Amino acid sequence: MPQALDRTALERVIAVINGKGGVLKTTLTANIGGMLANNGYRVLLVDLDPQGNLAEDLGYTDDDRDDTGRALAQALMFGGGAAPIKEVRPNLDVFAGGPALDQATAGLSAKANKDPDGAKLAVAHLLAPIAGDYDMILIDCPPGDETLQTAAVAAARWALVPVKSDKSSRKGLGAVAARLDAVLGVNPTLDLLGVVLVDVGTSAHVVQREAREHIAELFNADHKVVFTATVRHSEATAQATRERGLLVHELDAQVRKGPKWFEILRGDAQAQAFAPRTASSVADDLQAITQEVVARITAAEKQEALA
């Protein structure tokens, strides 16, 4: 008899998903979560990616807290609870990912032969008992792992889809739509929170407009399906954040506290190593995305309350 699932506490679970890699899924997960936590939200991040890149963004790679996904994999395969890493930042807990999650993929794939719904709901059963402790839960989905992607969206109330504006990147959206449709039988309340254009040029207005039109057509929706805010391209900021294990707003604060150019010029201070000036702009973009996430969820909850 399958274990009953109470979805009451899962109303603010967001799966950050796209079948393609390199579209800033982990960047969005880490930075939206970090900004929410910094503003008093209790946040849980779930790293479902065997690459475990969330550890780099949050700065716990290879320290005692990083079990490379073993605890999470065991819980998904065999049930029972698992404890997230507490207080990676104030108000921010994390289920660590990593190579051990390949075992979870194999285990859930085998389970799907006998209990397909149970395999799909593995993440949901893990999160349901603890979700009430948090104001928001974000799941960083792996790009190419259908089993873990399916389990993530089966647990989520919302799907957040980052995509680049080029045609090749947009092709992956069809697979995302199919993945969402595939779990509606076990998760009928799943809905698309929106699509976020990432890695965009700030002056590419025509490209952005065309991308918004194509995305809206694909999801059979109006242009509101695409977030108003976008995330600009900045390789220097991306590299600097992972080098230091800092979120973008944390890097921006560090850069702002650094010495002024004239202090360096006259020899009164030393230049910061690897301090990109674009950090402030990217931090603003990510803050705008975070605000839009909250606004969209709040509006949906108010509408549901009135229904």
- For every one of its 307 residues, what pLDDT tens digit does the chain have, with 9 covering 90 and above? 345 688 889 999 999 999 888 889 999 999 999 999 999 999 999 999 999 999 999 999 878 889 999 999 999 999 877 899 999 999 999 999 999 999 999 999 999 999 999 999 999 999 999 999 999 999 999 988 899 999 999 999 999 999 988 777 777 788 888 889 999 999 999 999 999 999 887 666 787 888 888 888 888 777 789 999 999 888 888 888 888 889 999 888 877 765 554 444 556 545 455 556 678 899 999 999 999 999 999 999 999 889 7
Cβ neighbours for 216, distance < 8 A, ≥ 6 positions apart: 222, 223, 225, 226
Domain coordinates in residue numbering, the chain:
8-305
Which H or E run contains 45?
Answer: strand 43-47
Residue in this structure with the two tokens 């799941």, named with its chain if needed? 139
Q: Specify the residue for token string 């930075």.
A: 31
Cα distances from 83 to residues 72, 74, 199, 277, in angstroms, run 8, 11, 34, 38
Question: pLDDT digit string (tens) for 245-290?
Answer: 899 998 888 777 655 544 445 565 454 555 566 788 999 999 999 9
Question: Which CATH number does the domain 8-305 belong to among 3.40.630.40, 1.10.3080.10, 3.30.470.20, 3.40.50.300?
Answer: 3.40.50.300
Four-residue CA torsion sign, 144, 146, 152, 154:
positive
Q: Which residues contact 7 (CB under 8 A, 6 or more apart)?
A: 124, 128, 157, 187, 189
Q: How far apart are CA 2 and CA 21, in angstroms?
A: 34
DSSP type of residue 269: S
C-alpha pair distances (Å), 113 with each of 74, 108, 119: 19, 9, 9
Instruction: Report d(CA 301, CA 53) in Å as an integer.
Output: 32
Residue 222 exposed, middle or buried by CB count within 10 Å (0-12, 13-18, 19+)? exposed
For the chain, the farthest-separated pair of C-alpha atoms sits apart, in whole angstroms, at 75
How many C-beta atoms surround the C-beta of residue 74 within 10 A? 17
The answer to whether 282 and 234 are in contact (CB under 8 A) is: yes
Are 52 and 96 contacting, i.e. CB atoms less than 8 angstroms apart?
Answer: yes
